[in-house]
């Protein structure tokens, strides 16, 4: 599985981690699950927005 590195604000990261933990618990790998979900949601949203522009 590919790996990616991103730079985001500490505030955003802490809020994301807090919410991921609330949603998925303390299990190993929950950040990866939450990040993939967030990226997929962004892709879906952006595709819809771009379809409306064309």
Query: Is 44 domain-assigned?
Result: yes
Q: Is residue 45 part of a domain?
A: yes
pLDDT digits (tens, 9 = 90+) for 5-39: 999 999 999 999 999 999 999 999 999 999 999 99
Encode burial over 6-39: b for 16+ CB neighbours within 10 A, e otherwise: eeeeeeeeeeeeeebeeeeeeeeeeeeebeeeee
> For 37-51, what is each residue's pLDDT tens digit?
999 999 999 999 999
Q: Using pLDDT thresholds of 50, 70 and 90, give the confidence band for residue 53.
A: confident
What pTM was estimated for this model as a whole?
Answer: 0.81
pLDDT-derived band at 54 (thresholds 50, 70, 90) equals low
Domain count, the chain: 1
pLDDT score of 1: 82
Domain that holds residue 39: 27-54
């Amino acid at each position: 599985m590919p790996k990616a590195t991103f730079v985001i604000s500490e505030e955003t990261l802490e809020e994301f981690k807090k919410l991921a933990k609330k949603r998925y618990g303390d299990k190993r790998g929950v950040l990866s699950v939450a990040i993939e979900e967030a990226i997929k949601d962004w892709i879906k949203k952006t595709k819809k927005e771009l379809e409306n522009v064309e």
